[in-house]
């Protein structure tokens, strides 16, 4: 494992990740337009760090004339992205410190959460608890949930793809975004 990379904001000792964004040259051949290390943002007293890999702001995404690249860059420069991007998607990598539990929360989104490193416990507000190991996937369907790294010595890492959803009603009650005690996260506006 590598040591943390302070220039990228990475907190964990997990390997630094790299992003490759493809496109087309003037002849229509595939190229890599940009490649760079993940940039990390610490949260919750440096017990968790996020790296937003990419966003889209419409469904389906518009790749013509690099509209998606421009929209992503504009969104990121505003520094107001919540967990979910209204009418779009977010792919985000999250590192969890040893022994750390994030707050119980709900997003207005359909999320795919993949464990990349370590093990993560998924807790649901019903009291259910499930241990997830490398390669396991959680499909979060706007449910109240929490992530816990039960290791006292090793960081854990997950990759999340969040997709905005239509308002969800269960038992006559609208299920709204609830960020719990994660006050330093901006609301999504969903």
Question: What is the arithmetic mean of pLDDT over 47-65?
Answer: 96
Is a pLDDT exceeding 80 seen at residue 65?
A: yes
Q: Is the pLDDT of residue 2 over 70?
A: no
Please say whether the structural domain 6-165 has been given the CATH code 2.60.120.10: yes
CA atoms of 94 and 70, how far apart (whole Å): 24
Annotated domain spans of the chain: 6-165
> Rounded mean pLDDT of 106-130?
97
d(CA 98, CA 83): 22
If pLDDT is split at 50, 70 and 90, which confidence band does 84 have? very high
pLDDT, one tens digit per residue, over 94-103 is 999 999 999 9
Please check whether residue 146 is in contact with residue 181, taking contact to mean a CB–CB distance below 8 angstroms.
Answer: no
When the pLDDT of each residue in the chain is averaged and rounded to a whole number, the result is 93
182: pLDDT strictly greater than 90: no
Token pair listed for 110: 């359909």
With a cut of 90, say whether residue 126 has pLDDT above it.
yes
Structure tokens at 69: 């690249």
Under 8 Å between Cβ of 27 and 39: no
């Amino acid at each position: 494992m590598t040591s943390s990379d302070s220039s990228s904001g990475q907190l964990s000792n997990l390997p630094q990740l790299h992003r490759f964004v493809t496109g087309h040259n003037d002849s229509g051949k595939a190229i890599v337009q940009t490649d760079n290390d993940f940039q990390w943002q610490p949260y919750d007293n440096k017990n968790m760090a996020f790296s937003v890999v990419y966003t889209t702001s419409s469904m389906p995404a518009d790749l013509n004339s690099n509209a998606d690249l421009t929209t992503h860059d504009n969104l990121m420069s505003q520094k107001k992205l919540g967990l979910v991007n209204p009418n779009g998607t977010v792919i985000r990598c999250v590192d969890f410190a040893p022994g750390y539990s994030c707050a119980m929360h709900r997003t207005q989104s359909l999320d795919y959460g993949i464990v990349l490193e370590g093990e993560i416990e998924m807790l649901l507000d019903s009291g259910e608890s499930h241990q997830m190991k490398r390669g396991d996937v959680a499909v979060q369907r706007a449910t109240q949930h929490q992530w816990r790294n039960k290791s006292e010595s090793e960081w854990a890492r997950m990759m999340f793809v969040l997709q905005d959803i239509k308002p969800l009603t269960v038992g006559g009650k609208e299920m709204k975004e609830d960020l719990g005690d994660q006050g330093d996260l901006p609301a999504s506006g969903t």
